[in-house]
Amino acid sequence: MGDLFKTEEAPKREPARPLADRLRPQKLADVVGQEHLTGPDGALTRLIRSGSLGSMIFWGPPGTGKTTVARLLAGETGLAFEQISAIFSGVADLKKVFEAARLRRANGHQTLLFVDEIHRFNRAQQDSFLPVMEDGTVILVGATTENPSFELNAALLSRARVLVFKALDADSLALLLRRAEEIEARPLPLDEAARAVLTRMADGDGRAVLTLAEEIWRAAGADEVFDAAALQEIVQRRAPIYDKGQDGHYNLISALHKSVRGSDPDASLYYLARMFDAGEDPLYIGRRLVRMASEDIGLADPQALVVANAAKDAYDYLGSPEGELALAEACVYLATAPKSNAVYTAFKAAMRDAKQHGSLMPPKHILNAPTKLMKAESYGGGYLYDHDQDDAFSGQDYFPERIGRQTYYDPPERGFERELRKRLDYWSKLRRDRSGG
């Protein structure tokens, strides 16, 4: 009776490894999308052939193979591989790793230390790498998604070569999907249009496209093939790669600004939409539109600054999503407006002279003389009240005597500044005529 209900335990099955892990390349030549580094003439291939490997910083977006390449690099050069993450490690962890590397070195073995998210370490922690890099205890390979110029110590950067990893293009992502289909021994159940949408969803991230592929295989029934609409229902759209304090932020606002300056309303709207989609503060965008109006349009269209300010105020009043349309309207207005940086250039030149020449006294004839002493010193003497002159223009010189008359503002023959050019030319002629020049 005791054995009546006894059942044999089923053997424990090891959980299936994620597809991205199963497809991890086994040699550098198999790495996808980084041919400039791992191809036959790539920077890393040349380093391996030279037999001389130095410390490096791998900079690039997520899912581009930084960790995999570091591991393969150690394997192909016979180095011990150590990996830590700056998110989970502190000074004590670093000391343990350094000590282990010193012991290996004493036994004739060198260590490649891979530090993921190295930009997360503070300045003091980054400085702790310097001695072990200098004496050869470790070859440091740090990975970062952020611009090393902003996030890493200059001393660290001076001892390491920065190698840039590129986001995977559509062809590289398609190759990964073909490899996935081979290892799964079944086609991905997507029609051609859905397959193209999937690669766009991955946003250049190889790990992401494989993770999404796994979700699709899990969701598909027998003989089921998804179109683009069904695909978007099945998988959650990835959040755009965008950090409001880092490169994503600056790259997109730069792209928006240059598209407006380049009079391309369509590109301007695209980058505006990208920033909205990524969760950028619309009031920040509004302030930047005001800046574009004054820097790149100026007096070629004086209404540009009015429109940009009005759009910023409209968003401040309406909020999202209603106020976003006002910013889009301003964006199109600025992109289609005539362009001039004449005021911007003139102001910079005037600032340069103001700093260079110091506190020069204005000419006495344009100074007020509220006291007898100042009158005795000829303050205000010889000033000509322009409204009492012919054409309401005296033509007097208002610059300090030491620097003489300067020309900063030189408007182009575009937009409203064409009219301003006529006015300046007219006053210049009057000035010459009255001075006898």
Q: Return the CATH number at 68.
A: 3.40.50.300
Same structural domain for residues 131 and 182? Answer: no
What is the pLDDT averaged over residues 284-311?
A: 95
Same structural domain for residues 76 and 101? Answer: yes
The identity of residue 154, as a single letter, is A
Q: How far is CA 151 from CA 136, 143, 144, 164, 304, in A?
A: 24, 12, 9, 15, 37
Residue 347 or residue 378, greater confidence:
347
Report the pLDDT value the prediction gives residue 236, as an integer from 0 to 100. 63
Q: Residues 366-420: pLDDT tens digits?
A: 888 888 888 888 888 888 888 988 888 888 888 898 888 899 999 999 999 999 9
Domain limit, last residue, from 277, 302, 336: 336
Could you tell me how many helices (H) and strands (E) the chain has, helices first?
21, 5
The secondary structure of residue 226, as a DSSP letter, is: B
Same structural domain for residues 429 and 331? Answer: no
Residue 125's closest CA among 81, 90, 173? Answer: 90
Residue 400 lies in a domain: yes
What's the order of all strands across the beta sheet hosting 138-144? Answer: 80-85, 111-116, 138-144, 56-59, 161-164
Q: Residues 12-60: pLDDT tens digits?
A: 555 678 888 899 999 888 999 999 999 999 999 999 988 888 999 999 9
DSSP string over 107-176: TT--EEEEEETGGGS-HHHHHTHHHHHHTTSEEEEEEESS-HHHHS-HHHHHTSEEEEPPPP-HHHHHHH
Q: Is the pLDDT of residue 4 over 50?
A: no
Domain limit, last residue, from 164, 194, 214: 164
Report the pLDDT value the prediction gives residue 302, as an integer from 0 to 100. 95
Confidence of residue 9 (pLDDT cuts 50, 70, 90): low
Residue 17 lies in a domain: no
Q: Is the pLDDT of residue 152 over 80?
A: yes
Contacts of 378 (CB under 8 A, 6+ apart): 364, 365
Q: Return the CATH number at 381.
A: 1.10.3710
Report the pLDDT value the prediction gives residue 1, as an integer from 0 to 100. 47
User: Is the pTM higher than 0.85?
Assistant: no
Helix, coil or strand: residue 408: coil
Report the pLDDT value the prediction gives residue 89, as an integer from 0 to 100. 84
Segment holding 361, helix H or strand E: none
Q: Return the CATH number at 306.
A: 1.20.272.10
Segment holding 45, helix H or strand E: helix 43-50
Residue 292's closest CA among 267, 249, 256? Answer: 256
Distance CA 261, CA 275 (A): 18
Range of the domain at 360: 354-435
Same structural domain for residues 375 and 419? Answer: yes
Contacts of 171 (CB under 8 A, 6+ apart): none
Q: Is the pLDDT of residue 242 over 60?
A: no
Q: Residues 63-122: pLDDT tens digits?
A: 999 999 999 999 999 999 999 999 888 888 889 999 999 999 999 899 999 999 999 998
Same structural domain for residues 265 and 331? Answer: yes
- How many domains, in total, are found in the chain? 4
